[in-house]
Amino acid sequence: MFMLIAASNLLAQWSTPYHSINENDLGDVAKALRGSTNEKTITRMVTYMGSNYGYAYDLDQFGVNDYWESAEEMFRRKKGDCEDSAILMADILKKNGIVSELWYLASEKYPSAHAVLTTQYKDGWAYLDNSYKVHPYQTKKEAVMAYWSGQGGTGLYGLLSNIMDKPNTSEMVPAMPVKIVGTASERLKMHSHLTELQGNEIEIMLPLDKEKYSQLVHKEAVGFLAKVNSRVLKGIGFSYSEHGWYSPSREYNDKMYSFHFLFPYIGASFNTGDYQGIDIDVNPISSKWVKAYVNMRNFGQIWDYKMVLTPIKYVEGQAELNDKNLNYGFYLKLPDESDPNVFLKVGVTNKKTFRIMLSSPQKEFQISFSRPITLSMAYRW
């Protein structure tokens, strides 16, 4: 009852004497929220939403982990989660001639996702979500990336361009949880720390768990690096990879094509396709006992650090920090009795990744399994 009274008061305050409001009609409500400027319309809308709409989990409302309500459905129910609020606000803005974009935000750090709306606001951009506040920024990129940046995690951003054109969202959305699986370090070495590579090398990554495939951040990938006998250039290579995350309106993966150039202590990767940028990897420390690697993704937009320690002869420890996501593991080296330079290395990481490596001074074969089941292989010669 209180919410209905609040809605009536707000709408009456913003209506004109020439317009009779039907509070059960979304079109009428949208008109009543119209201000003299776009900024006033946006401010009125978030105030109205905050006073009249509550949060509800999809599992509690619909009995499934994920369900995307239409604007009309959210308007009637007066409750929903983040994407339901964003869809309704997008529809209200559209009815007032204001262009907005609905973004699906996933995270490499947290097993969760979020939906926000971006629109031009004053001299810049703003994102709107179910906090029902206006979050202003100078650029659209800043507005899109702000949510996960504020949470201390790496964001993965998908523009949902056709979500508003789907009349029956209940059929469009599969009943599956929005949960990101896999870690930021589960990618080719060419994409993480290029300077770890030494010569001719082939890398392959292949997800085997079909049920959780759509939730993986990093999916199929293959890369090849050819050794170059030069004082300046040590190797040149190419890789292809697919990336993606669960999003109801997307049935495709982002594709990335990368060209890799390995120099002494420095590696450079030029990425094109759906992800474009230049990654620089540096190997500042390389000794018998300690090796360190630093990757500046897109010139420092994201930082990755890795350290390999060999405290005793047959034990190795590794730690990697991918944008505040810590991965570490321990490995045992089992030497061949006939040739101590040939050994089998077996290890496990905190992310439940199991690795086996057969290595010699000339050749190396590595195979690893991670959860959900992903097979990774690398062969160096």
- Per the domain annotation, does 177 fall within a domain? no
Same structural domain, 168 and 303: no
Domain of 21, CATH number, reads 3.10.620
User: What residues make up the domain containing 59?
Assistant: 2-172
Query: Model confidence at 7, in pLDDT bands (50, 70, 90)?
Result: low
Q: Which pLDDT tens digit goes with each residue over 129-185?
A: 999 999 999 988 788 778 776 665 555 556 554 444 443 333 333 222 334 444 445
Q: Are 15 and 28 in contact (CB under 8 A)?
A: no
> 327 pLDDT exceeds 90?
no
- Per the domain annotation, does 359 fall within a domain? yes
Same structural domain, 197 and 56: no
Same structural domain, 130 and 199: no
Of 43, 51, 69, nearest to 4 by C-alpha is 51
Same structural domain, 280 and 155: no
What the block records as the tokens of 199 is: 């010569």
The span from the CA of 118 to the CA of 101, in Å, is 5
Q: Are 224 and 202 in contact (CB under 8 A)?
A: yes
Same structural domain, 159 and 245: no
The number of CA neighbours under 13 Å toward the Cβ of 212 is 16
Same structural domain, 247 and 151: no
Same structural domain, 84 and 218: no
Last residue of a domain, one of 172, 207, 229: 172
Same structural domain, 222 and 358: yes
- Per the domain annotation, does 178 fall within a domain? no
List beta partners, residue 49.
Answer: none
Query: Model confidence at 20, in pLDDT bands (50, 70, 90)?
Result: low
- Per the domain annotation, does 182 fall within a domain? no
Same structural domain, 84 and 168: yes
SS (H, E, C) the chain: CHHHHHHHHHHHHHCCCCCCCCCCCHHHHHHHCCCCCHHHHHHHHHHHHHHHCEECCHHHHHCCCCCCCCHHHHHHHCEECHHHHHHHHHHHHHHCCCCEEEEEEEECCCCCEEEEEEEEECCEEEEECCCCCEEEECCHHHHHHHHHHHHCCCEEEEECCCHHHCCCHHHHCCCCCCCCECCCCCCCHHHHCHHHCCCCEEEEEEECCCCCHHHECEEEEEEEEEECCCCCCCEEEEEEEEECCCCCCCCCCEEEEEEEEEECCEEEEEEEECCCEEEEEEEEEECCCEEEEEEEECCCCEEEEEEEEEEECCEEEEEEEECCEEEEEEEEEEECCCCCCCEEEEEEECCCCEEEEEECCCCEEEEEEECCCEEEEEEEC
Q: Are 82 and 49 in contact (CB under 8 A)?
A: no
Domain of 221, CATH number, reads 2.40.160
> In this predicted structure, what is the pLDDT of residue 12?
54
> In this predicted structure, what is the pLDDT of residue 111?
58
Last residue of a domain, one of 139, 172, 205: 172
Same structural domain, 211 and 293: yes
- Per the domain annotation, does 160 fall within a domain? yes
> 96 pLDDT exceeds 90?
yes
First to last CA, the chain: 74
Q: Are 135 and 146 in contact (CB under 8 A)?
A: yes
- Per the domain annotation, does 216 fall within a domain? yes
Q: Beta 354-359 vs 134-137: how paired, if at all?
A: unpaired
> In this predicted structure, what is the pLDDT of residue 265?
94
Residue written as token pair 């097979």: 375
Same structural domain, 270 and 365: yes
> 251 pLDDT exceeds 70?
no
List beta partners, residue 223.
Answer: 203, 239
89-104 mean pLDDT? 89
Of 283, 240, 282, 233, nearest to 261 by C-alpha is 233
Give me the chain's average pLDDT, please: 79
- Per the domain annotation, does 136 fall within a domain? yes
> 376 pLDDT exceeds 70?
yes
Same structural domain, 156 and 254: no
- Per the domain annotation, does 179 fall within a domain? no
Last residue of a domain, one of 111, 146, 172: 172
Query: Model confidence at 16, in pLDDT bands (50, 70, 90)?
Result: very low
Cα angle 192, 180, 71 (rounded to 5 degrees) comes to: 130
Counted domains in the chain: 2
> C-alpha distances in angstroms, 194 versus 10, 28, 132, 163, 310?
58, 58, 44, 38, 20
